Amino acid sequence: MNPAQLLMIDLSGPALTADERGFLQANPIGGVCLFRRNIRDRFQLADYTAGLRELLGDEILIAIDQEGGSVVRLPDVPYGPGAMALGAANRLELTRQVAAATARGLRAVGVTVNFAPVADVNNNPRNPVISERAFGSEPERVAAQVAAFVQGHQAEGVAATVKHFPGHGDTDIDSHLDLPRLMVGLERLQRVELVPFKAAFAAGVAAVMSFHGLVTALDPNEPATLSPQVMTGLLRDRLGFDGVSFSDALDMRAITARYQPAEATVLALAAGIDMPVQLGPVSQHEATIRGLEQALTAGRLDPLALGRSRERIMRLARRYPAQPDPASAWQDGDEALLSEAAQRAVTVMGRLRPLAAGQQVALVTAANAVGGAASDVIDSPAEALARRLEALGVTVLRAHYQRSTPLAASKPVLSAVRAVGRALFVSTARLRMTQDEAKLGAEVAGAAQEFAHVALYNPYHVQDLPGPAIISFSFHPYAIAAVAAALLGQPAEGALPVTLTSA
């Protein structure tokens, strides 16, 4: 067996370069992970994935991160408002239907594996990378949502992947940037973190993706991705999972700060990962394959274990074949479904006095959304809310501030708020508010006769800025529309799926 068959790689753009084409012709790569840079639209992407199958065979795995909400690589097919929004709506059949629509859109462009849903229990308000990507903070509730998503998604012919095994929720470091630590005992791991994964396994999930962090109760020295105690001892031996295990991307600092790419790939395979996801240029992929060949020769990798990995990969590929048809990505009812999901997610805390057509409101926001390494940054999502309110007859006075601006420079913002009397403070970051940002929000609330905080991203912002609040959990276009409708008095049905603390 050629070890290249176990690798998933990335590519540089919407068309193959000469170097990439030559590399793929010479090496039977097992999978390709797609990113925004590979995509112009769904029709181009269907052609692109067809070209990959021509080069590498019909059983290549073509994967993407299409969680919904803030993590969307392909925007012109159906996608949901994100996991936490679905958790707030708390309707399992709705989650199944949103997952099914998501899978149909991916199937239409030749994608066979979705790196979703997130099965992490987000019980740490300071988590900088999971947050609204999780269904909530209660294990059983998350488990039910994860199982529903898996069922709906895989029924439409695209493999689902639960991540980040065995749990990235109770951490406060982004593994894209450094090495997080899950510092809990085995009893707690069984009672909290593993509950959604077990539910996914019972639902027949096709694949799992690893956590680039230390699980100190199992292995205090190596991140889970590189730990035999986690990826073999826990996943295979204790939990009995026999689907495909993917590594999270091995270009993250949690890994690269400690190991060179080839060595990290060897260690991942030795730990029990079936398919390492190795991102980088062609030269790096070539070096990685040489490193794998050398590791096999030196006896560092077990050919029988690699053969079992290949069998699992092929089983997945045959169960979820490519079925491209870009014209079929959208079906009747998809738009109504996504609108319903976003609307049912909107959550109100405290008493909001509705806006009305003909009224004025000051909308205070930073110029840009601040995401994280997992997400694509969307410029000025609050502007979409402003336009939607204007379409409903509300006069909106925009008052922008920059997060890097000293608090003393915010006087024009407060003057605008006093002049109008009503204010919306819109938070648009995944990270928690800075002290200055929270103080400015409090000053806006104090300057306004009527005030509401609109949290378009991180729900934990509502504990950084006390007061009446409305939460959408995402910038999804339908979420923006639902927030605007709620601000004008439409009842909000969502229930906060995380526990707020003073953290």
Determine contact, residues 429/369, Cβ cutoff 8 Å.
yes
Q: What is the pLDDT of residue 401?
A: 78
pLDDT of residue 404: 62
Q: Furthest-apart CA pair in the chain: how many Å?
A: 76
- pLDDT of 38 above 70: yes
Answer yes or no: 65 catalytic: no
| Mean pLDDT across the chain | 94
State pLDDT tens for residues 184-229. 999 999 999 999 999 999 999 999 999 999 999 999 999 999 999 9
pLDDT digits (tens, 9 = 90+) for 167-186: 999 999 988 889 999 999 99
Q: Which of 226, 219, 215 is closest to 255 using CA atoms?
A: 226
What's the pLDDT band for 403 if we cut at 50, 70, 90?
Answer: low
* Terminal Cα distance for the chain, rounded: 51
Asked if 307 and 301 count as a contact pair (C-beta separation under 8 A), the reply is no
pLDDT at 374 over 80: no
Structure tokens of 172? 């406060």
- The pLDDT tens digits of the residues spanning 236-291 come to 999 999 999 999 999 999 999 999 999 999 999 999 999 999 999 999 999 999 99
Rounded distance between C-alpha atoms, residue 231 and residue 451, angstroms: 49
Over pLDDT 90: what percentage of the chain? 86
Order across the sheet with 181-182: list the strands: 181-182, 214-215, 219-223
Long-range contacts of 69-72 (CB under 8 A, 24+ apart): 69/132, 69/133, 69/473, 69/474, 69/475, 69/476, 70/132, 70/133, 70/371, 70/374, 70/375, 70/376, 70/378, 70/430, 70/457, 70/474, 70/475, 71/116, 71/133, 71/374, 71/375, 71/376, 72/376
313 or 176, higher pLDDT = 313
In this prediction, residue 437 has a pLDDT band, given cuts at 50, 70 and 90, of confident
Catalytic hit among 41, 47, 76, 176: 176
**Residue 104 has what pLDDT?**
99
Distance, in Å, from the CA atom of 372 to the CA atom of 252, rounded to the nearest integer, reads 13
Mean pLDDT (whole number) for 134-162: 99
Q: Is-catalytic flag, 176? A: yes
Q: Is the pLDDT of residue 324 over 90?
A: yes
Please give the DSSP secondary-structure letter assigned to residue 408.
G
Task: For the chain, give the percent of residues with pLDDT over 70.
Answer: 96
The pair of three-digit structure tokens given for residue 76, joined into one six-digit string: 């012109």
* Residue 323, burial from CB neighbour count under 10 angstroms (0-12, 13-18, 19+): middle
pLDDT of 367 > 70? The answer is no
Give me the amino acid identity at 270. A
Q: Which residues contact 56 (CB under 8 A, 6 or more apart)?
A: 24, 28, 29, 32
Residue 92 has pLDDT above 60, yes or no: yes
Q: Is residue 88 over pLDDT 80?
A: yes
> What's the confidence (pLDDT) of residue 377?
47
pLDDT (average), residues 322-331: 97
Residue 147's SS3 state is: helix
The angle formed by the CA atoms of residues 456, 109 and 25, to the nearest 5 degrees, is 120
pTM of the predicted protein model: 0.95
420-457 residues labelled b (16+ CB within 10 A) or e (exposed): bebbbbbbbbbbbbeebbbebbbbbbebbebbbbbbbb
Q: Which of 219, 248, 274, 464 is catalytic?
A: 248
Look at residue 24 and tell me whether its pLDDT is greater than 80.
yes
HEC string of 317-353 equals: HHHCCCCCCHHHCCCCCHHHHHHHHHHHHCEEECCCC
State residue 410's pLDDT score.
74
- Model pLDDT for residues 490-502, shown as the tens digit of each residue: 999 999 999 987 5
DSSP codes of every residue in 84-109:
HHHHHHT-HHHHHHHHHHHHHHHHTT
What pLDDT score does 466 carry? Answer: 82
Tokens of 383: 């502007």
Residue 5 has pLDDT above 90, yes or no: yes
